[in-house]
Amino acid sequence: MQARSPTPTITDAEHLAHEHWGLDGQATSLVGYEDHNFLLASGAGDRWVLKISREGVDERALDCQIQVLKFLEESAVALLVQRVRPAADGRCLIPIETGDGGLRWVRVFSYLEGTPLAKRRRRPRPFLEEIGRTLARLDLALSAFDHPGAHRHVPWNIERAHEIGRYAEHIPDPAQREMVERHLDQFRSQVAPRLAGLGHGVIHNDANDYNLLVRDSADETPVLAGLVDFGDCLHTVTIAELAIAAAYLMLDRDDPLTTAAHLTAGYHSVRPLTAPEQGLLFDLIVARLVTSVIMSARGLHLEPDNEYLQISAQPIWRLLERLARIDPDRSTSWTFPASLMCAFQLSLMSLSSRMRLGSGFMVQSSSRDSITRPPP
């Protein structure tokens, strides 16, 4: 069929759901980065997510997203990920032509109940550790999965973070731009050459606080309810899963280092980090932060009215400033697995020292600027 307009509408979503999936219900728009997303609600109370791709998307990447969800249906994290709903003819990807001759792809997933973690301020230690354990279980499950669509060149591959420097020109603030370029230079020379020796596999690649869903238990303790949006799943260094999650969960926290420590402790208890992974974890956390601000700046240059691209840009800049002011001596107080403490601290000392060199955007360490230690 032909979509009724170049940009899919609620009416388009309802028509597609009825024609191809036999689903009747009311659609509402959901926020999306790559896709046009719609929540379908039937009169019987069933809810589904219908996703319509942008034009020109690689079909292999979309098929990878579908196959990874199918693969996880029998895994240890099966209850935390969406299920794929095939269309009436058995296909999971339906192509539709747009009015201008382009092609989009439509698929339908189950709806997971929960609130994005970004909307919850309270994040106790056991909850952060459980997120870490869940991501480790996910990575262990995916160690047996592969797909051609996971081996693609995208800007969000942390292994190639240094290659997106050409987009830094879209960062309007000269001092911020200089800081980012300096870090990418260091990543290129000191981090990238060491990544080949780390474990690799397919990962979710975007466990941010909007893709992690949470609900309250009976005693109002937060419980992990789901991990959505496998659209960025990629074959890369496995430890990037933890680094990416830590990067986003550290945003706007009173003690971001302790947040990272609890998350890492949980991950390490299920999938122990190797010494090289421990030594590079902090570098990879900052690499993701830098990638995010660069891609946000580029996206806003291309789509100035896209509010989604502005969701985490300012908190990331604030975190980058704080990380550059860390007093490495204070980091020894983190609640952290003993086997990780030394390597993580040395990585932190090296990185914070590099980030301060020569940049007017950076501030020298002081007790006032240091991130505070947690209480004993």
* In a domain? residue 295: yes
Contacts of 302 (CB under 8 A, 6+ apart): none
Residues 46 and 195 in one domain: no
Q: What pLDDT does 38 receive?
A: 97
59, 147 in Cβ contact below 8 A?
A: no
Residues 139 and 184 in one domain: yes
| CATH code of residue 168 | 3.90.1200.10
The predicted-structure confidence for 122-159, as pLDDT tens digits, reads as follows 999 999 999 999 999 999 999 999 999 999 999 999 99
- Percent helix, strand and coil across the chain, each to the nearest 5: 50, 15, 35
Residues 99 and 203 in one domain: no
Query: What tokens appear for 5 in the block?
Result: 């307009």
Q: What pLDDT does 308 receive?
A: 63
Helix or strand holding residue 130 (H, E): helix 125-142
Q: What pLDDT does 3 receive?
A: 43
The predicted-structure confidence for 333-360, as pLDDT tens digits, reads as follows 333 344 344 444 444 444 445 444 433 3
* In a domain? residue 304: yes
Mean pLDDT of 291-316: 81
Of 120-129, 190-199, 317-326, give the lowest mean pLDDT range: 317-326
Closest residue by Cα to residue 246 from 214, 216, 274, 283: 283
Residues 86 and 133 in one domain: no
Q: Looking at the 3D structure of the chain, how many domains does it have?
A: 2
The predicted-structure confidence for 249-294, as pLDDT tens digits, reads as follows 999 999 898 899 999 999 999 999 999 998 899 899 999 999 999 9
- Look up tokens 């051609």; give the residue: 148
Residues 98 and 210 in one domain: no
- Give burial (CB, 10 Å; 0-12/13-18/19+) of 277: buried
Q: What pLDDT does 305 receive?
A: 75
Closest residue by Cα to residue 40 from 52, 53, 28: 28
114, 215 in Cβ contact below 8 A?
A: yes
Query: pLDDT-derived band of residue 31, with 50, 70 and 90 as boundaries?
Result: confident
Q: Which structural domain, as residue segments, surrounds residue 286?
A: 115-356
Question: What's the pTM value of the predicted model, to 2 decimals?
Answer: 0.85
Residues 260 and 285 in one domain: yes
Q: What pLDDT does 311 receive?
A: 61
